Amino acid sequence: MSAFDYHSILRDELGELKAYTPVVGKFRIRLDANEAPDLLSAEAKKRLAEVAASSIWEKYPDAGQRALRKAIAQRMGVNADQVIAGVGSDELITLLLTVATRLKNRAPAPTILTATPSFVMYRLSARVRGQRVMEVPLDSDW
């Protein structure tokens, strides 16, 4: 009996995907891993530690992130219902790409435009949803 060929049932674009392997090395900025230099001051780190120490870790936080969205909205001069918050960049990427996955009237799959090099999840998440990806290379001025 031959082994089951899972490629026979998967969408073609899933076959092109490979596991992400980060480039080894020391880099000040790693766009591919969504990393940046340390931007927080010692005072900001201390304040974050204080807030974390007083947080209630044994309960689920507000799933609607109302207080956070309100604070961001006030700072940005918009309404809280215009702010989306998530628990990490992958969640927000997933949310935004999922919104574009099922288009009305059976329009063609959307094309997602992203810079390269950049965070690998932009491309990977779009391709998993059957979306096309157009990568625009960054130049020396980013």
Average pLDDT, integer, range 70-82: 95
Average pLDDT, integer, range 13-23: 74
Q: Is the pLDDT of residue 54 over 80?
A: yes
> Could you tell me if 93 and 114 are in contact, meaning their C-beta atoms sit under 8 angstroms apart?
no
Average pLDDT, integer, range 4-20: 74
Q: What 3 state SS string does 97-122 have?
A: HHHCCCCHHHCCCCEEEEEECCCHHH
According to the model, what pLDDT value does residue 1 have?
59
**The most confident of 22-31, 50-59, 97-106, by mean pLDDT:** 50-59
* Per-residue confidence band for 98, with pLDDT thresholds at 50, 70 and 90: confident
Give residue 49's identity as a one-letter amino acid code.
A
CA distance 102 to 85: 22
Q: Is the overall model pTM greater than 0.75, yes or no?
A: no
Preceding omega of 110 cis (within 30 degrees of 0): no
Q: Which long-range contacts (CB under 8 A, 24 or more apart) does 75-81 make?
A: none
What is the distance in angstroms between the CA of the first residue and the CA of the last residue of the chain? Answer: 54
